[in-house]
A = this chain, B = another copy of it.
Amino acid sequence: MSKALVVLSGGQDSTTCLYWAINEFGHENVSSLSFDYGQRHKIELESAKKVAEIAAVVHEILPINTFSALGGNALTDDIKIEMEENRGHLPNTFVPGRNLIFLTFAAAYAYTHAIENLVIGVAQTDYSGYPDCREGTLNSLEQTLRLGMESSVTIHSPLMNLNKADIVELAVKLGAMDAMAYTHTCYNGQQPPCQKCQACLLRAKGFSEANIADPLIERCQFFRNLKA
């Protein structure tokens, strides 16, 4: 059985992908990789670490200090996130080429660890204006990585054509709900999540449409009740 590396952001989608990979490649063949790229909310990395711990897979964090040096976007800089999409413009959470960089570094890591499969939790269905989440982009990148590293790496994006409700249903089916309680989604970096930002609203919509309670919200409420 070949080995797989999951790009783990600590969010709902990459966590679902981690369980997808365990199901697909076998638990002993899966490891996970996160990037400390200067994201404003370090809670994402803590979530990734916790999720990997619950799933009991190897987890490594690679630093990338280049995006914050490039500057100018709301995910790494202290810029207000644009809640509404500007028609004709990419949202200001767009970090140009972010997924290309993540997957290229993941492929370099995979190359040195004899791992043939990369798994990433992007979806073009709920695609928020990010061109590096599209199937065509990933197919082209896979070809580039194979040529550029003389490897036979394959990029898997099992959520590509699923909507948020589908992803919730898949996560339930794969037994990812324990880990899901520790994922992080909120653009404002809040825990309990703000439930007002675009990321929180999209997440809530998915759970609501799937008719499943979000274990993150339940966990936060549980602790809030304990305090009360």
Contact = CB atoms under 8 A, between A and B. Distances in A.
Interface of A: 62-66, 69-72, 90, 95-97, 99-101, 104-105, 107-109, 111-112, 131-132, 134, 136-137, 140-141, 143-145, 147-150
A148 B94 CA distance: 11
Nearest to A109: B70
For this chain, the copies found in one complex come to: 2
B148 A137 contact: yes
A85 B157 CA distance: 37
Given A105-B97, A145-B100, A66 B62 contact: yes
A63 B71 CA distance: 12
A100 B148 contact: yes
Given A97-B105, A140-B148, A143-B144, 11 more contacts: A62-B70, A63-B69, A66-B66, A66-B105, A70-B108, A96-B108, A101-B105, A101-B108, A131-B149, A136-B147, A137-B147
Contacts of A137: 144, 147-148
Contact of A145 (B66, B97, B136, B145): B97
A112 B70 contact: yes
A112 B65 contact: no
Scoring A71, A95, A100 by chain B CB atoms within 10 A of each residue's CB, the highest score goes to A100
A146 to B, nearest CB: 9
A139 to B, nearest CB: 9
